[in-house]
A and B are shown apart, each in its own frame.
Chain A
Amino acid sequence: MSKQLHEITFELKAQNPTDFVEDFAHFGVVGSGDMEVIIEQKNLDGAVKVKIVTPVTGYDEVWRRVLERFVNDTGVANASLEINDNNATPVVVSLRLRQALSEVD
């Protein structure tokens, strides 16, 4: 009955993709209710590859929607997003993703 960390992976595609130039960016601290993200440039034919590692289960659909919105709003393309989460709420997730992107600019 071992409890394992939950891993969620999926791919998204922005409706209006823009060029994402930085090859690597890291932002955030995995504090309680917080998360970190690595954004890395990858040649994915315009897609965004997402990997989330979290102790929380049952919110896969919420993660997908939050990430979908982020990708569509920002136009991020050809990138991999790796998230280590520790119970961040959707609002915090959105904020951290945008902060990470502004670090890149």
Chain B
Amino acid sequence: MSSKWENIQKRSFLESEARTRALGLVDPGTFTELAGPRHRISSPHLPLLGEAVEFDDGIVTGVGLIGKKPVFVASQEGRFIGGAVGEVHGAKLANIVRMARKAYDEMLASNPDLPEEKRPAVIISFDTGGVRLHEANAGLLAHAEVMDQFQDCKGKVPIIALIGSRVGCFGGMGFVAAASDVIIMSQFGRLGLTGPEVIEEEMGKDEFDASDRALVYRTTGGRHKYIMGDCNVLVADSIAAFRGALQEVLGKLYAEIAEMSCIGSLEKIQYQLKLVDLCVETAPKDAKDVWKSAGNENPDDLTDMPLDEFLTTVKRLTDRY
């Protein structure tokens, strides 16, 4: 068990399945899967459409420990229908967040002096394009339910988003990730609302060429999101690196974690509005124009430099505004 866990640590986060990520992010031997394959809760809608089903409906949910902290984990599987959120998938996600908040309420009710290091947290490893169109109404409703649960967690349970898997985090789930407290990404992680292919489909190749990987990554990828301030922590592509960043964030007090969120206060909204102003003033044609506005004299160098060098040289919009 332990050697299996050690092996997982070295693995690429990008290449790892949902279950591997869930196992590797928490302390060795502490992960217990809830509503897993054993329970066979697959989509009731897909069979009617003749579409393949999965025993876990494309999401792994469970509980584990990071240090003394109980963590409630959700990990999406992008290889199953692009990690899309259907009824069961969404219910599992909403309920793992609900469980974390209920655990918090019960723990604090029985012990109001419970140290912060023992209070629950939520971890979500995103790998999704958003709503599963085959069961769109249920999927959309699930998004709303997850957002509801996030709101109930405010002031109580920190929610940490991890983005570094193949599909990235797009569609409605892009909103959900943005509503979390902290976003940890690798440079291969991608975060956005409308995915590259959809933009091309709707607006044409001249507007956005989804086959241009460099363009896609400098518009939606981890490095860009780090410069923009949408991503709080940028890490290397390994399970160990994500876990390390997670441990560091969870080591902070709740108030400090909540302060890292993109939303939730007047100051944060004012920061976002400043970025809108900046956009109007400079009319950027490319992500690199924005990087320049952030104070990066040679934005071209930023795409290819090694991650360590990038992190020490890069100037972020959050530093400037």
Contact = CB atoms under 8 A, between A and B. Distances in A.
Interface residues of B, number: 20
A50 interface: no
B55 interface: yes
A36 B80 CA distance: 11
B50 A38 contact: no
Given A30-B80, A31-B79, A55 B52 contact: yes
A24 B80 contact: no
Interface string B76-88: 0101100000000
A5 interface: yes
A86 B37 contact: no
Nearest to A54: B52
Contact of B54 (A3, A54, A84, A87): A84
B47 A36 contact: no
A5 B37 contact: no
B48 interface: yes
A26 B36 CA distance: 10
A34 B37 CA distance: 16
A26 B38 contact: yes
A4 interface: yes
Contact of B55 (A2, A5, A38, A54): A38
A4 B80 CA distance: 19
Contacts of B53: 5, 30, 53, 84
Interface string B38-54: 10101000111111111
A26 B79 CA distance: 16
Given A29-B77, A34-B79, A84-B42, A3 B50 contact: yes
Contact of A31 (B40, B48, B49, B80): B80
B55 to A, nearest CB: 6
Given A29-B79, A30-B80, A5 B38 contact: no
Contacts of A31: 79-80
Contacts of A4: 47-48, 50
B51 A55 contact: yes
A31 B50 CA distance: 15
A3 B47 CA distance: 8
B80 A5 contact: no
Interface string B15-50: 001100000000000000000111010100011111
Contacts of A53: 47, 52-53
Nearest to A7: B47
A24 B54 contact: no
14 contacts: A4-B47, A4-B50, A5-B46, A26-B36, A29-B17, A29-B18, A30-B80, A36-B37, A38-B37, A55-B50, A55-B51, A55-B52, A82-B55, A86-B52
Given A53-B53, A55-B50, A84-B55, 11 more contacts: A4-B50, A5-B50, A26-B37, A30-B79, A31-B80, A38-B37, A38-B40, A53-B52, A55-B51, A84-B52, A86-B52
Interface of B: 17-18, 36-38, 40, 42, 46-55, 77, 79-80
